[in-house]
Amino acid sequence: MGFVSAVTPQPLDPLAVLERVCAVQNALLLTEAPERGLFDQMLRHFVELTRSEYGFIGEVRYDGDRPWLRSRALTDIAWDDATRAELARAGSEGLAFRNLDTLFGRVLRTGEAMIENDPPRSPFAAGVPRGHPPLRCFLGVPVRIGEAFVGMVGLANREGGYDPAVLSALAPLLGATSGLFYMLRLHEARLRAEAHVARRLAFERLILEVSSLFIDAEPAAVDGVIDEALARTGRFVEADRAYLFVLSDDGRTMNNTHEWCAPEIPPQRDALQRMRVDDFPWVFDILAAGGHVAVASLDDLPAEAAGFRASLEPQQIRSVVLVPVVHDGRLRGIVGFDAVAAPRRWSDEDASLLRVLADDIGNLLRRSRAARALAESEERFRLIASNVRHAFFLMNASYDQLLYVSPPFEDLWGMPCAALYADPLVWLSTVDPAHRAEVERTLAFSARRETVSEYRIRRPDGAWRWVRVQTLPVRDARGACVKVAGIAEDITE
C-alpha cells in the first residue's frame, strides 16, 4: 500500500505518548464508572498524537456470531442536518455500525490491525456517503482484554499516512484503552448484579403485598382485589395487559373474568367470553402438562398453533406469556401477560418469576371468589407459603401474637412452628449476639415501615445459617398498622 502523500510522516514522540497514558490512568483512578467523557478524552489523545483528522473508539458487540460496533467516542464530522440529528439522537448510547463490508468491518471480521493508505483502491473499502469528509488513509486497531476482542480504535487522514511504527508507538495508549474497557465491563457487571438483587427484592415485596391484599379482603371486595393484584403484577413485568381466564366446571369453555391494561392499551375482556378450549389445542396441551407458553413473536408459532394466532392478531398482541392455574391436579385457568406496543422476548427469569407469582395469585384468585370469612383468607395465605421456598409469617402490630407461620420456618430455623406460636419472639435467642442489637432495632420499626435485614442465626443442631428477612406493615382503611407480614429466606449459599 503506498502512502497518499509525499510528505514523510512524523514519528510519534514516546514521551508524549507516555504523558497521555499517565493522564488517562490518573483519570481512571479518580472515577468508579467509565463515563463517556473518559472515552472522549482517550480518542482526543489518539487523534492529537497521530495528527489525524478524525476517529472513533467503538465497543465490539455480537448478534449471534456476527460482530458489530457501538461507538463510545466519535469525532463530530456531521456534514448535514440529517447526520447532525442522528448524532444527537444517539446521545450516550452511541451509534451502531453493522456494515462489515468496510475498512473497519475488515478489522471486526479478522480481529487484526489494518493500515490502508489508499482507500479508493482497497478491496475492503465501501466508499463514503455524499458529503462525508474524504477518507485519504485509515488505521483500525483491535482492543483486547486478554484474548477477548472487546473494542476498536479507528483513525483517519494522518498526513503522510500510517505505518507499523505508528501502530507500535501507540501500544501503551492501546493498553490504557484496554484498561478503560475492562473498567466498563466491571461497571456493567456490577450494575447487572445490583439490578438482579433489586429485582429479586422487589419480587419478594410484591408477594408480600399481594398476599396481604387477599388476607384482608372482604367478600364484597374480592373482585377489586383481583384487579389490583393483576395491575401490580402487570406493571412489575412491564406487560401491556394482565388477565385471568377461568375454565368452566366441565373444562370446555373459558371466560376472561379479570383484566388490567396499561395506559392507551384497549381492553379485550368483553370480547373474550365463552371461548371454546378445543379451538386452542396447541396451547392447552402445553398448559395441561404443567408447562408455560412464551411467544416473543407470532411468527415463531408453529403451524398447529394457527387457531391461537388467529385469536391474538385481532387484539394486536405481539408477544405473550401464559401460565397455568392448577388446583387439585386439574387445569382451572390461565394467567396471561401481553405485549402490544412493542414485541418482547420473555427471558427465562421472567418466565420463572411469572410462573411462581402467577400460579400463587391464580390459586388465591380462584379460591377467594368463594371466600366469606377471614379464616379462609388466611388459609389461602398458607397456600402461597407452601408454593414458595420461603418462610412466611404474620404477626400482630405489637409482635406479641403470632397469627400464622408457614412450615418452611421449621427447616430454616430448626425449631417447630409450635414454639413460635407459644412465644412469638423465641427466634431472637438464635440470633448471633453480634447482630442481635441491630435486629431488635429493625424490629422496633417494622410496624411503621417496610424493613429488610440480613443476619446470622444458630440452629439447635449447632449449624450457623444466614437469613434475609423482609417485613411489610399491613394497614387498615385509616392507615393504621394492624398486622406485620414477613418473609424469610436462607441466603447462606
Q: Alpha-carbon distance 231 to 261, whole Å?
A: 8
In order, the DSSP letters of 301-362 are S-GGGHHHHHHHGGGT--EEEEEEEEETTEEEEEEEEEE-SS-----HHHHHHHHHHHHHHH
Q: Grid coordinates in use for 166?
A: 505508528
Contact call for residues 109 and 67 (beta carbons, < 8 A): yes
Sign of CA dihedral 435, 438, 443, 449: negative
pLDDT at 28 over 80: no
Contact call for residues 116 and 122 (beta carbons, < 8 A): yes
Span 270-316, pLDDT tens digits: 999 999 999 999 999 999 998 899 999 999 999 999 999 999 999 99
Give the largest CA-CA distance in the chain. Answer: 94
Give, for 483, the enclosing helix (H) or strand (E).
strand 481-490
Residue 470, SS3 per DSSP: strand
pLDDT at 481 over 70: yes
Q: Give pLDDT, residue 20.
A: 76
493 to each of 186, 431, 464, 489, how far by Cα in Å?
A: 23, 18, 12, 11
For residue 104, which amino acid is it? Answer: F
Least confident range from 28-42, 88-102, 333-347, 443-457: namely: 28-42
**Start-to-end CA span in the chain (Å):** 59
Q: Give pLDDT, residue 41.
A: 87
Does this model's pTM top 0.75?
no
Percentage with pLDDT > 90 across the chain: 38
Mean pLDDT of the chain: 84
pLDDT band at 4 (very low <50, low <70, confident <90, very high): very low
